[in-house]
Amino acid sequence: MTPGTGSPPGTGPHEPFGSRLYAALDRFGPLCVGVDPHPELLQAWGLPETVDGLEEFSEICVEAFVGRVALVKPQVAFFEAHGSGGFAVLERTIEVLREAGTLVVADAKRGDIGSTMSAYAQAWLGRGSPLESDAVTVSPYLGFGSADPILELAERNHGGVFVLAATSNPEGGQVQLSTAADGRHVSQVMVDEAAARNAGATTLGSVGVVVGATLTDAPALGGLHGPILMPGVGHQGGTADDVRRLAGDCLRSVVPSVSREVLRAGPSVTALREAVSRSVEEFAFLRS
């Protein structure tokens, strides 16, 4: 993998993540593309389910996506499954994307308490960490306050955090749609807590939420003032109409996240770029 030429205008690392993301969405369109080396995709691309196959898959994705999408989301689990060799590929993938000026959210879904959460914070958002990313996904379901170590480091280092609020897996509602003491759904509590962290942001706050595009019962997002990462479009059944319905008045804050819908076009770099262009065009209404 060969590094690129650095951050595009308006996306420098000394700007808050929310501001950098907002500029990238304006420049490249409203789309996050996953780097998900799922075994089925490796097989479809004619690659071995080994570290070498993982590396070739990632190199193709980097070539296809750099300078063409606002945000790239490596799915950490598929790298972690290959042990230290997989993490080494992930480190290089993140480094090359970021050096080329492409924003990276590590889809790690970390969640813990105290010193352990602080260690996760250093791993994914610490300056100079081999895994340093622009943002990371976090599970707040040990209580939103358990995420404070990573939220605090993100603020100091101008990074971003996407907290899982309302996920589209069938089991999610068991917790997320339960009722808090004040009568709100727990998923709404998570959105409201994230909104409180974004108070005073000038363009877009740096604490976002993850809300599945296939949901029928989702939290209100109007007061978030932060990015809304919306997986589930395309292969999982979510449509542009679903995104519009869930976003309401927050269209310009939404970042649809696609993975297999784009990746199944590989391994041709040209075909992957064409798939990206189709997805960007499908969601162009989010920036109009």
Positions marked catalytic: 109
Q: What Å distances lie between residue 265 and 31, 50, 66, CA to CA?
A: 16, 21, 17
C-alpha to C-alpha distance for 259 and 37, rounded to whole angstroms: 10
Closest CA to 54 of 18, 72, 80: 80
Cis, bond preceding 267 (omega within 30 deg of 0): yes
Closest CA to 204 of 228, 223, 226, 221: 226
Task: Tabulate helix, strand, coil % of the chain (nearest 5).
Answer: 45, 15, 35
Q: Phi/psi at 71 (nearest 5 deg)?
A: -150, 135
Per-residue b/e over 225-254, b at no fewer than 16 CB within 10 Å? Answer: bbbbbbbbbbeeebebebbeebbeebbbbb
Per-residue b/e over 51-77, b at no fewer than 16 CB within 10 Å? Answer: bebbbbbbbbbbebbbebbbbbbbbbe
Collapsing DSSP to helix, strand or coil, 171 comes out as: helix
CA torsion angle 78 120 138 252 (round to 10): -90
N-term to C-term CA, the chain: 35
